Amino acid sequence: MASRTRPRALLLHSGGLSARQWRRLGAALAPTHEILAPDLIGYGAAGGYPIGQPFHFRQDVARLVDLVSEGEPVDIVGHSYGGLLALQLALAQPTRVRSLAVYEPVAFGVLDGPGDAEARAALETFEPYRAGPEPDTAWLMAFVDWWNGPGAWVALAEPVRASFRAVGWKLSEEVTSLLADRTSSATYATLTAPTLLLGGDRSPAAERRTLERLAASLPNAALTMFPGLGHMGPISHGALVDAAIVAFLRARL
């Protein structure tokens, strides 16, 4: 298939990682899609983000709007923070989006119903990041352990911990802005693009509830929960998650 006829797939990485997260998925999709896999602000080739300078996730969304403003509409894939950006980009540019495939997007604004109080309360445990010359390792440990269970930070290889320390301020600012976001379930219900929602049954209850609320709100969404997987499923079980995304995107060709 000639490259000019292939649809584009925009792959958005999780907070704390980089576009390298999607290298295997990009290779799997390359025969049928033109791959766009940018490093988000503050990561990888995009360069570091100044410690102490405020950040809001809308800054990443604005950069992505520029990326998809020309050419044919795109299929968007995202994980965690990248999943939130995928949904927000679709809200900002609905005609530029062919489909969405998101693994555990942190779209906590949908927790706006009377049955969501417990899930919202679980999000209030995040403390502010202490910006300074040294990384706030205590905050990073609390963040990683919240998502993956006690001891997860300690279990990481030292190079991985070092990479988190290097982007700790930007990561914490992402978290602060998304926790304050109140994009409602009714707003997300305006998204009509075919959407694949993915998650793991070992993820925190607040995220599982978020997926349930999105699945009930988006008119063309399907939800797949993977037994035994957690929030980092696209990393720990990449082949399984990638296969689901590839099948979904290729069904739209």
Q: Kindly report, residue by residue over 148-158, the tens digit of the pLDDT.
A: 999 999 999 99
Give residue limits of the domains in the chain. Answer: 3-250
Mean residue pLDDT across the chain:
96
How far, in Å, CA of 120 to CA of 185, rounded? 14
C-alpha distances out from residue 200 to 37, 147, 165, 182, Å:
24, 12, 26, 24
Q: What is the pLDDT of residue 5?
A: 77
How far, in Å, CA of 54 to CA of 1, rounded? 44
Question: What is the pTM for the complete model shown?
Answer: 0.96
CATH topology of domain 3-250: Rossmann fold (3.40.50)
